Amino acid sequence: MGAVNTVLSDEFKRRASQTELTDAGIAKAIGVSRQFYSDIKQGKKQVTTRFLIGAIEAGLADTANDVISIERTPTEDQAAS
Measure the CA–CA gap between 1 and 24, rounded to whole angstroms. Answer: 36
Measure the CA–CA gap between 19 and 7, rounded to whole angstroms. Answer: 20
Question: What's the mean pLDDT when you consider all of the chain?
Answer: 90
| 81: confidence class by pLDDT, cuts 50, 70, 90 | low
Summarised one tens digit per residue, pLDDT across range 37-63 is: 999 999 899 999 999 999 999 999 999
Query: Which regions of the chain does DSSP assign to beta strands (E)?
Result: 3-8, 68-73
CATH assignment of 3-80, among 3.90.950.20, 1.10.260.40, 1.10.10.10, 1.10.3720.10? 1.10.260.40
Does the pLDDT of residue 72 top 90, yes or no?
no
Q: What's the confidence (pLDDT) of residue 71?
A: 83
What single letter denotes the amino acid at residue 4? V
Measure the CA–CA gap between 73 and 6, rounded to whole angstroms. Answer: 11
Q: What's the confidence (pLDDT) of residue 74?
A: 75
Summarised one tens digit per residue, pLDDT across range 22-31 is: 999 999 999 9
pTM for this predicted structure: 0.80
Helix pair 34-41, 23-30: axis angle to 10 deg: 110
Domain boundaries, the chain: 3-80
